[in-house]
Amino acid sequence: MATRRRALANAGAAVMAAISLMVGLGNPGREYATTRHNAGFWFIDAIARRTGAELRPEPKFHGHVARVSVGGDALWLLQPQTYMNHSGQAVAALARFHKIAPAQILVAHDELDLRSGAVRLKQGGGHGGHNGLRDIIAQLGSRDFTRLRLGIDHPGHSSQVTNYVLGKATQAERQAVCDAIDEVVDLLPNLLAGEFQQLMNHLHARP
């Protein structure tokens, strides 16, 4: 893991804005915990486990929140508890209170257009039909945040999407996504430093 981080750090690509807030998108409640739409929550849970953090309810931020230190860098973690379509309410509340610019925010979310276990980093852009991203863009008034796209595969037809994303992931699907998440968490120091180009080159080359 350390060798991989050093290789990325020495890659020489441009460094972008450092990340101060990581948001995982999902729906609150036990009935949604293992659904494909909650892949973003799985990502935040993985960081919390790795850092020994405890996510706590914060009513003024409309979500579960923790503040952790990774390699000496402070990082806010957020799981909005507003349900997916109103995710921006929580993101905007925390970002404005702590004066975190959109470019310092990373949002992890499920991605239908990638196979299960694939992972992509993307800076800026539209919402691609994802209602969580749509609301974050509206509430922040900006598209300049980074997205961590966690592949969950596509059911094959648009009419099946709602039931599919709100359906429980199979054991194989969940394992593939969690393996990808673990690899990203291994590289958190690089991510917090804003070494996005190196990370994209590495993560996008995963088999």
Name 193's Cβ contacts closer than 8 Å, sequence gap at least 6. 9, 15, 18, 73
3-state secondary structure of 37: helix
Q: Which residue has the tokens 């796209």?
A: 149
Segment 185-199 shows an average pLDDT of 89
Residue 102 has pLDDT above 80, yes or no: yes
Is residue 37 annotated as part of the catalytic site, yes or no?
Answer: yes
pLDDT tens sequence across 8-67: 544 444 456 889 999 999 999 999 999 999 999 999 999 999 999 999 999 999 999 999
**Catalytic-role residue among 37, 64, 109, 202:** 37
Q: What is the pLDDT of residue 12?
A: 41
At residue 146's C-alpha, the angle toward residues 143 and 151, to 5°, is 110
Q: What is the pLDDT of residue 150?
A: 98
What ranges do the domains of the chain cover? 20-167
Model confidence, pTM: 0.91
pLDDT tens sequence across 69-89: 988 889 999 999 999 999 999
DSSP state of 168: B
Assigned CATH topology for domain 20-167: Rossmann fold (3.40.50)
Q: How confident is the model at residue 192 (pLDDT cuts 50, 70, 90)?
A: confident
Q: What is the pLDDT of residue 15?
A: 55
